[in-house]
Structure 1
């Protein structure tokens, strides 16, 4: 099994696990050993699944503004958690490949493996929800057809992205490419960097 196949298998299973509850406050059962790459991949997709549905909830035109603000802040916290997990996955891979001899003409990729994996996780959610649209019994045939076409595009996109991830990892393992991890310097969550926070909201 390739690494992308492992990712897709876990992401699909985790997305399915979320929809057993279909509740943003549900407690997941992560079946993998803590600290393993499988554990991190499950955790990543669970965060994405919860955030997906929080984004749906906050778009309810009848939502109470106070509740909307609570959800917005929860989404902000989720984004930070998501970023942290991406960095954990990159750190895992960086450690895995730390002894690889890098070729003199090796190049760096436009994004790290974990940020590509992040997109693969989101694709699993897009595919799941688009597939649900194709089996609705209360939708017009035109809607079903449009969603089926979109689903096919998403499946092709997942195939292409999966191949690209496997090729990137193969290049890293062979020393043709190398990893560099830049910590995401998100400023809006940092009381020392967000002017609204360090000026006390004035």
Structure 2
């Protein structure tokens, strides 16, 4: 089951990050580059670092210059995230290249990789909500509210995991087919962002 594998790798990545809990620590991907787990670990590591970037930039006392530098890092992280999603979809395109879709096969609203993207973010929500539900210096009311939210997130992970496995099974059986569109982000492109290409004139 791909979702079970993904959830395990995501949890490993989050745990590895929080050993040092620093956005500046380099990734130490434990999986060989030719393994699917390598992509999953990389995907979640990017998400985890960006999660903490987003925390830092919301500091009301942050220096404006530091905030701008951090905004640039978040932009770069978003591009990396999109790139890895496309690598994951390429993996599944290759894996199911031999499958001939049924004549009545349908396309899904999102590709498998974007569903894994949501599962990765969900793993981070679960980790941090659990921290809040167990935070010793928080009030009992705070912990109880966070536990309620954590229960919902855990149920959501079960549902999303099932949906992902069902989608991949449907693709393998020809009931659904993959069609991947590149994201074509414009704001990072010197030729497509008006601010950037006008600055070159």
TM range (shorter): over 0.9
1:113 Cα deviation after fit: 0.2
1:39-78 correspondence runs (5 A)? 39-78=38-77
Tell me which residue corresponds to 1:93.
92
Tell me which residue corresponds to 1:36.
35
1:28 Cα deviation after fit: 2.2
1:125-140 correspondence runs (5 A)? 125-140=124-139
Cα distance in 1 for residues equivalent to 2:200 and 2:69: 18
Cα distance in 2 for residues equivalent to 1:112 and 1:169: 10
Tell me which residue corresponds to 1:164.
163
1:201 Cα deviation after fit: 8.3
Cα distance in 2 for residues equivalent to 1:146 and 1:36: 39
User: 1:118-155: CA deviations, max 9, x gaps?
Assistant: 00000010000000001111111110010000000000
Moved more, 110-119 or 25-34: 25-34
Counterpart of 2:136 in 1: which secondary structure?
A: coil
Cα distance in 2 for residues equivalent to 1:31 and 1:199: 43
Tell me which residue corresponds to 2:119.
120
Tell me which residue corresponds to 1:16.
15
**TM-score, normalisation: structure 1:** 0.98
1:27 Cα deviation after fit: 1.5
Tell me which residue corresponds to 2:179.
180
CA-atom RMSD in angstroms: 1.0
Cα distance in 2 for residues equivalent to 1:195 and 1:103: 44
**TM-score, normalisation: structure 2:** 0.98
1:35 Cα deviation after fit: 3.0
Could you list the runs of 5+ residues in structure 2 that have no partner in the other structure? none
Tell me which residue corresponds to 1:144.
143
Could you list the runs of 5+ residues in structure 1 that have no partner in the other structure? none
Tell me which residue corresponds to 1:153.
152
Counterpart of 2:196 in 1: which secondary structure?
A: helix
Cα distance in 2 for residues equivalent to 1:132 and 1:33: 31
Tell me which residue corresponds to 2:80.
81
Moved over 2 A (4+): none
